[in-house]
């Protein structure tokens, strides 16, 4: 049994040394070449077991650092290359990494940043280091499969991102599951959409690695032009995609599939938010030969814990199930009083199994709240409470029903409204803030107490210092005083009522 996910790359480099593992615009890397690069980088990163932040654009370079960190026995933490420095500072404070690996273009952003003891290092400098084969072998050998492989930061309701910590075992089992479930082989060509700091990318990275397939780092700008995507899939002989529904919806709505046969495309999988049947049906009518699959899972699980292979027609108004648990996982739907929900009854979706995260990095309180002992298990077992509501159908499948809390999904991005409120409170003049999701208009509305002189554009310029672009509000309402309830909380119901007064566009 493997102890570290680097064994997947070692195995692939042994079986298919000269096959191209990953391709990007203007470059590619074979399995053997990527392993050699990773071992060199790993030699330069040897030392203790503190994590490595990977502050690089999505690229073969970033992948080389992920595997390089594994060669040094360290977890990696991918971050967005466009991350606001203030957010990176918060991540550094939470993670206490040893290094922040970056490139010449991004390095100047770190000047003056408070990164604690973390040392910014250039990838080019790591690659110039002396090899240390014995040191790397020893570091890999010392890893056990419950050690962390990566820490991915997701939006936190208190304003500080949460570092979800995934064990090697989660990825090893997930890679097996992906390759088996979708019958991946060396002919698999996967067009990656998910950013590397989003856990959907693990399907692409480790699924292809497991089977000797090819991973295409599809240019990110292409996703702004849905009409061009099918052409790209055709030209590159893509056999599998795993995209967020927002992208699939854009492709369907743009009519991009009309007249496209895409005979090589076999698997169309999606995850991250509700996939509407209206657009799924456009895909199914245009490409009837493909297998469609609805995958479900939060970052706190190694990407996915439930799946449903679409095996019958769905009317536009029907709900698409999220299906049943993946092989290495178990799911429960528990009512508020802790009972197993009966068929049709709403409850919280709870997850057990080897994919469950180790917790939130350096955050025992939040970990203890979300990762709880399973009261039904005769042996100690941890269960992740997703905060998602779900029900069992008569058909034995699980149906997703929404959230228990104020976490939202906007264009596939997970957002805690509290993080936007915390950022707004840092803007000079703002004394209080409340963010709400205006679903019909698909935008976030920010209500502030004070800050009256600010336009939406100016507010967003301020907010961008703290939160990523995708969290920025689409509407700003500045008030002298926010309404309060009798027990002095912000009256969200009244504020929400003001949203209803506007008709959707």
Contact residues: ligand AMP, CB under 6 A: 154, 199, 271-274, 294-296, 298-299, 322, 386, 388, 400, 403, 409, 414
CB 9 within 8 A of CB 38: yes
Nearest distance in Å: CB 270, ligand AMP: 7
Chain Cα centroid distance, residue 312: 28
266/286 Cα distance (integer angstroms): 13
Classify residue 375 as exposed, middle or buried by CB count within 10 Å of its CB (0-12, 13-18, 19+).
exposed
CB 70 within 8 A of CB 6: yes
Identify which of residues 4 and 165 has a Cβ nearer to ligand AMP in the complex: 165
Nearest distance in Å: CB 82, ligand AMP: 17
Nearest distance in Å: CB 199, ligand AMP: 6
Classify residue 326 as exposed, middle or buried by CB count within 10 Å of its CB (0-12, 13-18, 19+).
buried
Identify which of residues 154 and 460 has a Cβ nearer to ligand AMP in the complex: 154
Identify which of residues 369 and 403 has a Cβ nearer to ligand AMP in the complex: 403
Count CB atoms within 10 A of the CB of residue 175.
24
Identify which of residues 9 and 77 has a Cβ nearer to ligand AMP in the complex: 77
Count CB atoms within 10 A of the CB of residue 235.
8
Identify which of residues 150 and 400 has a Cβ nearer to ligand AMP in the complex: 400
Identify which of residues 271 and 325 has a Cβ nearer to ligand AMP in the complex: 271
311/399 Cα distance (integer angstroms): 15
Inter-CA distances, 87 with 159, 162, 334, Å: 9, 11, 35
For 38-69, letters b (16+ CB in 10 Å) and e give: bbbbbbbbbeeeebbbbbbbbbbbbbbbbbbb
Phi-psi category of residue 411: left, alpha or beta, with phi > 0 → left and psi -120 to 50 → alpha: left
Nearest distance in Å: CB 241, ligand AMP: 15
Nearest distance in Å: CB 261, ligand AMP: 27
Which residues contact residue 394 at a Cβ distance below 8 angstroms, ignoring those fewer than 6 apart? 343, 344
Which residues contact residue 3 at a Cβ distance below 8 angstroms, ignoring those fewer than 6 apart? 140, 141, 143, 144, 145, 168
Identify which of residues 132 and 299 has a Cβ nearer to ligand AMP in the complex: 299
Nearest distance in Å: CB 26, ligand AMP: 30
Identify which of residues 305 and 433 has a Cβ nearer to ligand AMP in the complex: 305
28/50 Cα distance (integer angstroms): 30
Residue 291 DSSP SS3: strand
Residue 468 DSSP SS3: coil
CA max distance for the chain = 69
Identify which of residues 299 and 328 has a Cβ nearer to ligand AMP in the complex: 299
Nearest distance in Å: CB 401, ligand AMP: 9
Inter-CA distances, 386 with 293, 309, 347, 348, Å: 21, 22, 11, 7
Identify which of residues 232 and 470 has a Cβ nearer to ligand AMP in the complex: 470
Nearest distance in Å: CB 495, ligand AMP: 23
**Closest Cα to residue 253, out of 276, 235, 221?**
276
Identify which of residues 207 and 298 has a Cβ nearer to ligand AMP in the complex: 298
- Total residues belonging to the chain: 505
Which residues contact residue 382 at a Cβ distance below 8 angstroms, ignoring those fewer than 6 apart? 352, 356, 371, 372, 373, 374
Nearest distance in Å: CB 299, ligand AMP: 4
- Reported in sequence order, the residue ranges of 90-188 that DSSP labels E, i.e. its strands, are 99-102, 119-122, 148-154, 162-167
Nearest distance in Å: CB 407, ligand AMP: 7
Identify which of residues 76 and 292 has a Cβ nearer to ligand AMP in the complex: 292
Nearest distance in Å: CB 410, ligand AMP: 11
DSSP result, 239-284: -EEEE-HHHHHHHHHTTTTTT---TT--EEEEESS---HHHHHHHH
CB 267 within 8 A of CB 293: yes
Identify which of residues 34 and 333 has a Cβ nearer to ligand AMP in the complex: 333
Nearest distance in Å: CB 225, ligand AMP: 24
Nearest distance in Å: CB 295, ligand AMP: 6
């Amino acid at each position: 049994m493997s102890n570290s996910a680097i064994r997947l790359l070692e195995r692939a480099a042994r079986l298919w040394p000269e096959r191209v593992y990953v391709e990007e615009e203007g470059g590619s890397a074979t399995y053997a070449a990527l392993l050699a690069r990773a071992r060199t980088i790993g030699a330069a990163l040897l030392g203790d077991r503190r994590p490595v932040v990977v502050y690089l654009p999505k690229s073969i370079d970033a992948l080389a650092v992920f595997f390089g960190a594994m060669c040094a026995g360290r977890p990696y933490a991918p971050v967005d290359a466009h991350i606001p420095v203030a957010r990176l500072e918060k991540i550094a404070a939470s993670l206490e990494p040893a290094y922040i690996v970056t490139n010449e273009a991004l390095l100047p952003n770190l000047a003056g940043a408070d990164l604690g003891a973390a040392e910014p290092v250039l990838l080019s400098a790591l690659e110039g280091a002396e090899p240390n084969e014995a040191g790397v072998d020893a570091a890999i050998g010392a890893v056990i499969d419950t050690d962390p492989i990566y820490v991915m930061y997701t939006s936190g309701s208190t304003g500080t991102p949460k570092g979800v910590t995934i064990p090697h075992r989660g990825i090893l089992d997930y890679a097996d599951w992906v390759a088996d479930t979708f019958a991946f082989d060396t002919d698999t060509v996967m067009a990656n959409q998910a950013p590397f700091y989003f856990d959907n990318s693990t399907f692409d990275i480790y699924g292809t690695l497991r089977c000797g397939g090819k991973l295409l780092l599809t240019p990110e700008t292409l996703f702004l032009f849905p009409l061009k995507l099918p052409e790209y899939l055709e030209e590159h002989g893509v056999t599998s995609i795993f995209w967020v529904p927002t992208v699939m919806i854009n492709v369907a709505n743009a009519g991009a599939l009309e007249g496209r046969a895409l005979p090589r495309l076999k698997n169309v999988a999606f995850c991250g938010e509700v996939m509407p049947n209206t657009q799924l049906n456009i895909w199914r009518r245009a490409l009837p030969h493909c297998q469609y699959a609805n995958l479900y899972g939060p970052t706190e699980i190694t990407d996915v814990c439930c799946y449903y292979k679409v095996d019958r027609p769905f009317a536009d108004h029907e709900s698409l199930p999220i299906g049943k648990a993946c092989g290495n996982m178990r799911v429960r739907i528990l009512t508020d009083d802790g009972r197993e929900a009966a068929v049709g009854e709403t409850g919280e979706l709870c997850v057990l199994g080897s994919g469950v995260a180790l917790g939130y990095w350096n955050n025992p309180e939040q970990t203890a709240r979300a990762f709880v002992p399973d009261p039904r298990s005769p042996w100690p077992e941890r269960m992740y409470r997703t905060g998602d509501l779900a029900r069992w159908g008569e058909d034995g499948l699980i149906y997703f029903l929404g959230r228990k809390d104020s976490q939202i999904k906007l264009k596939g991005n997970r957002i805690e409204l509290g993080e936007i409120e915390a950022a707004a409170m840092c803007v000079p003049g703002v004394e209080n803030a409340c963010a709400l999701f205006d679903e019909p208009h698909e935008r976030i509305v920010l209500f502030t107490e004070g800050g009256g002189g600010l336009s939406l554009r100016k507010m967003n310029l301020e907010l961008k210092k703290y939160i990523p672009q995708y969290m920025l509000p689409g509407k700003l309402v500045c008030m002298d005083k926010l309404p309060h309830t009798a027990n002095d909380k912000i009256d969200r119901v009244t504020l929400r009522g003001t949203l209803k007064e506007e008709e959707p566009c």
